[in-house]
Amino acid sequence: MISPFNFPGILSARSIAPALALGNAVVLKPDPRTSVSGGLFFAAVLEAAGVPAGVFSVLPGGVEVGSALVDHPAVPIISFTGSTEAGRIIGARAGQLLKRAHLELGGNNALVVLGDVDVAAAASAGAWGSFLHQGQICMTTGRHLVHDSIYDEYVEALSAKASALPAGDPSTGVPLGPIIDERQRDKIAAIVSETVDAGARVTAGGGYDRLFFEATVLADVTAEHAAFQKEIFGPVAPVTRFGSVDELVELVNASDYGLSLGILAKDAFRAYELADRLPSGILHINDQTVDDESQAPFGGVGASGTGARFGGHEANIEAFTETQWVTMQADIATYPF
């Protein structure tokens, strides 16, 4: 198992627990930035619980450790949560070695806001979807697609929400904490700068102090802009307008990612019918894109991964077992030759 830095406890435990329960030994490589909370913590807990030595192991380290685990002949299954870039490499290598790889990768999740919604409620949902955990969530709302008729009102309301969310030391009670490190912060800043240079407007935030990036709203974002095309993994809400349903479908499907999709509408059944044209591993009607329950199968399509192989009874059994056909008779069968 290879787990990421964001939500390291949950995103490690969701594979550790079912794999152990189904009789496997587990080797975990947590992200080197969260080796304690995402790995060594579990080793200590399981040791204290009496799990025998060698059944669960933690190997902190970087890319070279992950590569060695993928290549090791004693590792038949790879459960990976992380970036699409890394997932493609692991998936390709696993294919060469004829190993199973369960890949839960990145997302550039769309929140569709139809013209008949309560704009204040929609903006609140949109703010939660983009700014929770500083946007460092695979399910975060990465694209706000808003109908022309309410576009300006939505941008104004979302910008007001962003401006009221200060970033700083979490111990002080502020809602936004730090970005994981300077490299990720600089990536966020570069995407914002590139998008603004290409014609988008900053209507809230846009700057940072050390690792504290402001809740940022980018208006007038188009499908050609970096903030529309890339997974930002920061507290940035790009807002794009649409007129017709066909235009909306084209905008949603312009991304290779297909993890989570939210549709806000007065008519929930209309939203459900619309979703049939919008491929996504996860769908939320009248909610934003960030939602996770341990008993629900979790995963995406396209660049977001290889389907629901995390969470849920059926998904976990399929992920961490092999099906074996067995026949048995009391005596050796007789044959005509």
CA-CA distance, 146 to 247, in Å (whole number)?
11
- Given a contact cutoff of 8 angstroms between Cβ atoms, the answer to whether 115 and 148 are in contact is yes
Quick one: which of 87, 100, 103 has its CA closest to 298?
Answer: 103
Q: Which residue has the tokens 């007789």?
A: 334
Q: Please give the torsion angle defined by the CA atoms of residues 315, 319, 325 and 330, in that order, rounded to the nearest 10 degrees.
A: -90
CB atoms under 10 Å from CB of 245, counted, come to 13
Is 104 among the catalytic positions? yes
Catalytic residue among 85, 138, 214, 322: 138
State yes or no: is 231 an active-site residue: no
Per DSSP (E only), the strands in 13-124 are: 26-28, 56-58, 77-81, 100-104, 109-113
- Tokens at 148, concatenated: 């022309």
- Which one of 47, 64, 85, 104 is the catalytic residue? 104
Cα–Cα dist 111/288, whole Å: 6
Between CA 29 and CA 75 the distance in angstroms is: 13
Rounded to the nearest 10 degrees, the angle between the axes of helix 41-48 and helix 8-21 is 40
At 99 the three-state DSSP class reads coil
In this structure, the number of other CB atoms found within 10 A of the CB of residue 326 comes to: 4
The residues annotated as belonging to the active site are 104, 138
